[in-house]
Amino acid sequence: MQTRSLVSLLALATAAAVALTGCASGAGGSPSTDGELRIVASTNVYGDIAAAIAGGAATVTSIMDDPAQDPHSFEASAQNQLAVSKADVVIENGGGYDDFMDTMLKAAKNDDRTVLNAVELSGKKAEGGELNEHVWYDLPTVKKLADALADALGKADPDKASTFTANAAKFDDVVSALEARTASLKTQYDGKGVAVTEPVPLYLLEAMGLSNKTPEAFSEAVEEGNDVSPAVLKDMLDLFHGHAVAALVYNEQTTGPETERVLAAAKAAGVPVVPVTETLPAGKHYVGWMGANIDAVAKALGS
C-alpha cells in the first residue's frame, strides 16, 4: 500500500475514536426525544464503524466490547435491553451470528428505529446450506454498511445528513485502499493454499486470491465447539506435514486441544502462522485492524 494510503488510514482511525458505551436512563420503548442520536451495535467492530460515520453526532453503544466474549453463547443484560429500546439505529450482523440482538429487538417494541443487518446488506447467500456469517471481514460489505448507516442517520437527523454522507465517503475511500491492497496481493498469490481453524477471515483471504485447503469438517467442528474426529484431524495435520499450504490463519480467540495441535504442527513444519480475532482488539480501530491483518498475511506468504 502506498504511504499516502497508510496515512489516510491512520487519520481516519484517529477520527473514529469517539465510540461510547452505556445508555440513557429512563424507561420506554422508543428512540430518544432529547435530540441526541443513539446507535446500538451488536459488537465493537460495528460500533467502531458507526463512530466513524456518526462522528461526534451520536452516542454509540457496543453490546459486545470484550474480545474474550463468545457471541454464540452471549447473554444480554437488562442494560443492553434498555439501550436497544432507546436506539435510533441498531446494527446487527445477522446470519445467526448474534441472535441475541433479534431477541432484544423483539422485546424492545420500538417501531421507529432503523435496523441494519450486515448479512442482508452483503447480499450473500448460503451455499450448500452453509453461510459464512463473518461479513465484517468482507470489505465490500463494510462499505455497504457505512453507506446504509449514513443514510439512516441522515433521515434521523436531516440537518447533519451531508456530514454523515461525507464521513461515509471518507470511510469508503480508506476501505477501498484496503481493497486495492488485497487486489495487488492477488496478482502475486492467486491460488496459493492456506489453512484456517475457523472461517472467520475467509472473505479477506479470498480477496487475496488464496485457496482454503482446510477440511470443511474441521473448521465447522471448531466453530461450533464440537470434537474433531481423528480422521479429520489427521487430514488437517497432513496439510502441514506435506507443505500443502503456505500459511495457517487461526482465530486466537478460540482455542482447544485440536487447534493447539494444529498450531504446533504448523510451527514444527515451518509453516507461517497468522493470528486473527473475531472482535476488535482493545485500542484498535476497524481500518487499522484490517490493514494489519492484510499486512500480516502478506508477510507470511512472502516469508
Average pLDDT over residues 50-75: 86
**pLDDT (tens digit per residue) in 210-252:** 999 999 999 989 888 889 999 999 999 999 999 999 999 999 9
- CATH 3.40.50.1980 in the chain is located at 3-179, 186-302
User: Residues of the chain with pLDDT > 90: what percent?
Assistant: 75
Q: Check: CB of residue 135 under 8 Å from CB of residue 95.
A: yes
**pLDDT (tens digit per residue) in 82-132:** 999 999 999 999 999 999 999 999 998 888 899 999 999 999 988 877 899
**pLDDT (tens digit per residue) in 155-203:** 999 999 999 999 999 999 999 999 999 999 999 999 999 999 999 999 9
Higher-pLDDT residue of 48, 5: 48
Q: Which three cell numbers stand for residue 54?
A: 456518526
pLDDT tier for residue 255 given thresholds of 50, 70 and 90: confident
Choose among 256, 193, 263: nearest CA to 224: 256
Could you tell me the pTM of the whole model? Answer: 0.88
Q: What is the per-residue pLDDT for 188?
A: 96
Q: What order do you get walking across the sheet with 248-251 strand by strand?
A: 211-212, 193-196, 248-251, 273-276
Q: What is the per-residue pLDDT for 303?
A: 66
Q: Is the pLDDT of residue 11 over 70?
A: no
3-state secondary structure of 150: helix
Question: What is the residue-wise DSSP string for 15-73?
Answer: HTTT-------S--SS--SSS-EEEEEEEHHHHHHHHHHHTTSEEEEEEE--TT--TTT
Question: What is the residue-wise DSSP string for 248-269?
Answer: EEEETT---HHHHHHHHHHHHT
pLDDT tier for residue 67 given thresholds of 50, 70 and 90: low
What CA–CA distance (Å, rounded) separates 238 from 256?
19
Q: Is the pLDDT of residue 300 over 80?
A: yes
Class of domain 186-302: alpha beta
- Could you name the CATH architecture of 3-179? 3-Layer(aba) Sandwich (3.40)
